[in-house]
Amino acid sequence: MFVSFAHRTAQGTATGGPLSSVPTGADIEATLGARMALGSRDAANVFLITGDHEAWNGPSDQTVQTMRSWGVTTVSATLVEDRAQAASNPGQQKKKKKKKSLSNLWGLRRHSPAQAQLQALLGAAIFHFVGSALELRNELEKLASLGVPMQGESKPIVVWEPSNLSLYDLQQALPLADIASFSPNTLAMLLGSEGDVDEAAIEGYVGTLMVGEIGPSGKGIILVRSDEKHLVATKEGGLSWTPTFHTSGGHQYIHRAGTASVFAGAFAIRFVQRGNAAEAALAGSVAESFAQEQVGLPSRDPCPNLSAQEDYAHASYGLPRGRAAGNEVWNLVGFEVRVRELRERIAADRRHQQSQQRRLSGETITDEM
């Protein structure tokens, strides 16, 4: 269902030392967010591209082992890149009387495990990219050459974190992305702005971009991480802010960098699942919170027995599910439990704001009499 095509830098390929498990690459960050939001039952539908290749620096061995233990499917970068190269240069393949099917293009056995994994990867519903507009176009062309549909109802969701590009290049490429995720500084740089990048400035930047086309059908989404809030912008729904789960001064707010891709990965999964940007933002904020609680990957523990008991109590007596909803806990807390907590916190803040507004207008608050 989800795969990141974010190429890693040399700084994100450590195989030893104290930083070997730190998700320093956008691919690991986005994969982490997607895995947490998708849950244990569908973990195999999250793909991680691994291994060394001239066009691809894979994640560390320790990180790969951890992701595999969480049920994530790993696919060799060499297999992906070699297949793409062969697809773009069909003349180099041996000519045969019978036309080869895409699933047997390299003479791989039709039912080989590697082939099955690659076919599943190419059928993912969400593809995540980081880079310039040119890099995005090249990656999409690569996927199209491999048989991934780029139009119609079966087209996958494209999540893009733009970098190293001009405003013109960005505006030309935004129609290709269903979800575009930015940092405030990136937006300010693209639009040639100086000074503080506050919420009002961010809304202005996003408003400028929303004038053009976002997404293939004009219904794309823009995400921006700003201090302790996330902006979600669509042409249909306008601009809305979702708070982060942790505040910057909180004792659990340890890892301050490298969490925007975690948000994007979880957001994309939940948006595909439910089609609701507000719900997707909750999942993104919660996934980000687990990544912020340590330098490195969060801990995961399966809780099948406790989860089964909670499911029974919920079905039989209507009791709320506890910390192990989803058969697993992250840093000893269930993902959906934290989503529910954030949703309730937002609702309480909204009620408080409405109460304050009514007081200022001179209305009587009946539930306080």
pLDDT for 13 equals 35
Half-sphere exposure of 283 (CA within 13 A, CB side): 27
pLDDT for 109 equals 40
**How do residues 8-64 score in pLDDT, each as one tens digit?**
544 443 333 333 344 568 889 999 999 999 999 999 999 998 876 666 677 888 888
E strand or H helix that includes residue 2: strand 2-4
CATH pick for 2-298 out of 3.40.1190.20, 3.40.50.2000, 1.10.4160.10, 3.40.50.300: 3.40.1190.20
Q: Per DSSP, which regions of 215-278 are E strands? A: 221-226, 229-234, 238-243
Provide DSSP, 299-325. PEEE-HHHHHHHHHHHHHH-PPP-TTT
Helix (H, G, I), strand (E, B) or coil at 240: strand
User: Which residues of the chain fall below pLDDT 50?
Assistant: 9-22, 95-110, 324, 368-369
Q: How far is CA 352 from CA 272, 341, 348, 355, in A?
A: 32, 16, 6, 5
pLDDT for 282 equals 98
- b/e burial code for range 93-128 (CB count within 10 A of at least 16 → b): eeeeeeeeeeeebeebeeeeeebebbebbbebbbbb
**CB-based contacts of 46, cutoff 8 Å, min separation 6:** 1, 2, 3, 31, 34, 35, 38, 71, 72, 73
Query: What DSSP designation does 333 have?
Result: B
Query: What DSSP designation does 344 have?
Result: H
Q: Where are the domains of the chain?
A: 2-298, 300-369
Single pTM value for the model: 0.84
Contact 126, 1 (CB under 8 A): yes
Beta partners for 182? 224
pLDDT for 70 equals 96
The tokens of 46 are what? 């999250």
Half-sphere exposure of 60 (CA within 13 A, CB side): 21
Alpha helices (H) along 219-334 = 260-274, 277-292, 304-317
Instruction: State the Cα–Cα distance between residues 280 and 285, nearest whole angstrom.
Output: 9
Instruction: State the Cα–Cα distance between residues 270 and 251, nearest whole angstrom.
Output: 28
**CB-based contacts of 339, cutoff 8 Å, min separation 6:** 282, 283, 286
Contact 43, 69 (CB under 8 A): no
